[in-house]
A and B are shown apart, each in its own frame.
Chain A
Amino acid sequence: MLIKKPHDIKPSEITDESHYLNRRALLQSAGLMAGGLLLPSLFNPQTAEASVALDSYPNLKASAFSTDEKITTYDNATSYCNFYEFGTGKSDPSQYASKVKPKGWEVTVAGACDKPGQYTLEDILKPHALEERIYRLRCVEAWSMVVPWVGFPLVDLLKRFQPHSRAKYVRFETLYDPNLMPGQKRNVLDWPYVEGLRIDEATHPLALVVIGMYGKQLPMQNGAPLRLVLPWKYGFKSIKSIVKIEFVEKPPRTSWNLSAPREYGFYANVNPAVSHPRWSQSRERRLGSWGKQKTLPFNGYAEQVAHLYKGMDLKKQF
């Protein structure tokens, strides 16, 4: 598949970016340490007693796709999560997931491809060079954050399984284990969580397989050990804790779409012009901030992805 470089990024910006990144990383870790020292566990017990030690990833490749916007604090990005598998409250995931460390993780690959089978996490990760990408993430609930993710392009992973040409869609499934994920004991959604992409979306260079954030392993509440990040779509498309990848011919039924089809479409591209029955999508609030800012079409990634949806009525296919 031919992957064109996005035309909005000049080479000069790329060099600047990597310098900027290093400086950012330093500031970030210094801030984290200071924050950890100053804030006692009184108000944030769930983050203070994070008992699982997370490995860090040094020497990450910087990415031209990264934004230079102000990065959301680590505390905010890891304590305010929508991960209904661990409960529907925003702090439930960090409270119930921080002590869980997934072991012996396996991913099933199935459907229309030459190399289906059971893959260990090591099999999945081995051939890929990790990079850091600072993306905006826009939740359908009208809040957003800027997170330095660690991962590699989804297209590189999917290619290894040699999908057939009749594979028009990719279906992803989250772990179903009510003992590990107490939120699954209640039928808030139809478990397991399912998400899906059209194959051209899944193979777009912006689509990222993520295993870490802020230079470290993903905390469980953010979707460890393996998740997607699709920055031009609402957050619920970026499925967490993946155990199954399937190449299919028809659009898969996705969890939120099943739960409320009028509210959550299959595409779920960030679109300020399509108002959601619960939230106006024209503006958003960055985590940690009091004010609001305008939401951009495709979350500011229009130049890279808009061509995927040419000729579609985005008000109907939302």
Chain B
Amino acid sequence: MPAFLIKSVVFLLCLSPAVWLAWQAFNDQLGANPVEVLTHQSGLWTLRFLLLTLAITPLRTLSGWRYPGRLRRMFGLYTFFYALLHFLIYLALDRALFFDDIWQDIAERPYIMIGFTTFLMLLPLAITSNNRSMKRLGKRWKQLHRLVYLCGLGGVLHYLWLVKADLLNPAIYLTIFLLLMLLRIKPITTWLTFRRPSLFSH
């Protein structure tokens, strides 16, 4: 399959949760509290894409499979896309643009503060995701983009902190995040690849 075709299919797949949510919203299919569903779903998709982006490197080191690396930028930008959606839904629908509530939220509620900070950290990553910025920033590009690990931690903590009593779901996301971080540590990956030779070796 030609590369652009694969990319187009992946692009549309990544977009489909947003399209599905919008379709449901316009057709009154989101239940009793549509704003809550939109807020939660856009947040969850942000986390999923963030974890997907973070999964590319371990996947490559463990399997030797290089192709997904070409999709990483798209996944990263989709993370930002869903984060932006989440942020806008929070501002315009959840808080209905009542800025007194919003300021109070950011100042007094740790989970909102963390969420907001994480969004601000994603911003420079999205802006410098193009080839020109990569060239211009050189070595510093890589340093800057290490921020994504903090974004992952921030996103997961944001979720963990907002839940009332049942921590099961955020704990699953936290576990996956920690696992993906562990799979970046040299001794661990060497040990794993030594025990199970690469499936996609070339």
Q: Which residues of A contact B (CB under 8 A)?
A: 43-44, 72, 75-77, 79-80, 84, 88, 90-91, 143, 186, 188-189, 259-260, 275, 277-278, 280, 282-283, 285, 287-288, 290-292
B164 at the interface (CB under 8 A from A): yes
Partner of A292, one of B34, B98, B108: B98
Max chain A Cβ within 10 angstroms of own Cβ: one of B31, B32, B36:
B32
Known: A88-B166, A277-B109. A80 touches B33 (CB 8 A): yes
For B92-105 the 0/1 string (1 means CB < 8 A from A) is 01001010110011
Partner of B31, one of A91, A278, A283: A91
Question: Which residues on A sit within 8 Å (CB–CB) of B165?
Answer: 84, 88, 188-189, 259-260
Q: A260–B164 Cα gap in the complex (Å)?
A: 9
Known: A291-B96, A292-B96. A280 touches B32 (CB 8 A): no
Question: Which residues on B sit within 8 Å (CB–CB) of A292?
Answer: 96, 98
Shortest CB-to-CB span from A247 to chain B, Å, is 29
Name the residue on B nearest A77 (C-beta): B32
Known: A278-B109, A290-B93, A292-B98. A285 touches B33 (CB 8 A): yes
B162 at the interface (CB under 8 A from A): yes
Question: Which residues on A sit within 8 Å (CB–CB) of B100?
Answer: 282
Q: A90-B33, A282-B100, A292-B98 are in contact. List 14 more A-B contacts (CB 8 A).
A: A75-B32, A79-B32, A88-B164, A90-B31, A186-B166, A188-B166, A275-B104, A275-B108, A277-B108, A278-B162, A280-B101, A282-B101, A287-B32, A288-B32
Q: A214–B174 Cα gap in the complex (Å)?
A: 43
Contact call A79/B31, Cβ cutoff below 8 A: yes
Shortest CB-to-CB span from B94 to chain A, Å, is 9
Known: A280-B104, A292-B98. A80 touches B34 (CB 8 A): no
Q: A292–B96 Cα gap in the complex (Å)?
A: 7
Interface of B is mostly: helix
Shortest CB-to-CB span from A45 to chain B, Å, is 12
B175 at the interface (CB under 8 A from A): no
Contact call A76/B32, Cβ cutoff below 8 A: yes
CB pairs A–B below 8 angstroms (14 shown): A44-B31, A72-B32, A76-B31, A90-B33, A186-B166, A189-B165, A259-B165, A260-B165, A275-B108, A277-B109, A278-B162, A282-B101, A285-B35, A287-B32
For B30-49 the 0/1 string (1 means CB < 8 A from A) is 01111110000000000000
Shortest CB-to-CB span from A86 to chain B, Å, is 12
Q: A90–B30 Cα gap in the complex (Å)?
A: 12
Question: Which residues on B sit within 8 Å (CB–CB) of A77?
Answer: 32
Shortest CB-to-CB span from B107 to chain A, Å, is 11
Shortest CB-to-CB span from B98 to chain A, Å, is 7
Shortest CB-to-CB span from A144 to chain B, Å, is 11
Q: A91–B111 Cα gap in the complex (Å)?
A: 24
Q: A215–B63 Cα gap in the complex (Å)?
A: 62
Contact call A280/B105, Cβ cutoff below 8 A: yes
Q: Which residues of B contact A (CB under 8 A)?
A: 29, 31-36, 93, 96, 98, 100-101, 104-105, 108-109, 111, 162, 164-166, 168
Name the residue on A nearest B24 (C-beta): A43
Contact call A290/B166, Cβ cutoff below 8 A: no
Partner of A290, one of B29, B35, B162: B35
Shortest CB-to-CB span from A307 to chain B, Å, is 30
Known: A291-B96, A292-B96. A283 touches B36 (CB 8 A): no
Q: A77–B36 Cα gap in the complex (Å)?
A: 15
Question: Which residues on B sit within 8 Å (CB–CB) of A282?
Answer: 98, 100-101
Shortest CB-to-CB span from B197 to chain A, Å, is 41
Contact call A278/B164, Cβ cutoff below 8 A: yes
Name the residue on A nearest B102 (C-beta): A280
Contact call B166/A143, Cβ cutoff below 8 A: no
Question: Which residues on B sit within 8 Å (CB–CB) of A291?
Answer: 96
Q: A290–B28 Cα gap in the complex (Å)?
A: 11
Shortest CB-to-CB span from B109 to chain A, Å, is 7
Shortest CB-to-CB span from B6 to chain A, Å, is 32
Question: Which residues on B sit within 8 Å (CB–CB) of A278?
Answer: 109, 111, 162, 164
Q: A296–B93 Cα gap in the complex (Å)?
A: 21
Question: Which residues on B sit within 8 Å (CB–CB) of A72?
Answer: 32
Question: Which residues on B sit within 8 Å (CB–CB) of A260?
Answer: 164-165
Question: Which residues on A sit within 8 Å (CB–CB) of B164?
Answer: 88, 260, 278
Name the residue on A nearest B27 (C-beta): A43
Q: A43–B29 Cα gap in the complex (Å)?
A: 7
Shortest CB-to-CB span from A32 to chain B, Å, is 15
Q: A43–B32 Cα gap in the complex (Å)?
A: 12
Known: A275-B108, A280-B104, A283-B101. A80 touches B32 (CB 8 A): yes
Question: Which residues on A sit within 8 Å (CB–CB) of B111?
Answer: 278
Question: Which residues on A sit within 8 Å (CB–CB) of B162?
Answer: 278
Q: A275–B165 Cα gap in the complex (Å)?
A: 19
Contact call B33/A287, Cβ cutoff below 8 A: yes
